[in-house]
Structure 1
Amino acid sequence: MSAVYPEPVIFLGYVVTKPHAPRPAPYDIMVTDGRVHDIDKDDYDRWCEYIFYRGLYRTSYARVSRSTITDTELQIGQFLVPKYGAGVTNDTEELRYLRAWKEEMPQEHVSKPLL
Structure 2
Amino acid sequence: MRRGYSTITPAVVHALSRRTFARALGWTDYKQSVTRTQLLDLVLLIAGTTRTLFAVVTRYFGFSHQTARPAVRANLGSRDQLTARLVDALRGVARFTRRDRTRRWTCAIDVHYVPF
Q: Which one has the largest radius of gyration?
A: 2
Structure with greater helix share of residues? 2
Greater relative contact order structure (CA < 8 Å, 6+ sep): 2
Range of TM-score over shorter length: under 0.3
Q: TM-score, normalised by structure 1?
A: 0.22
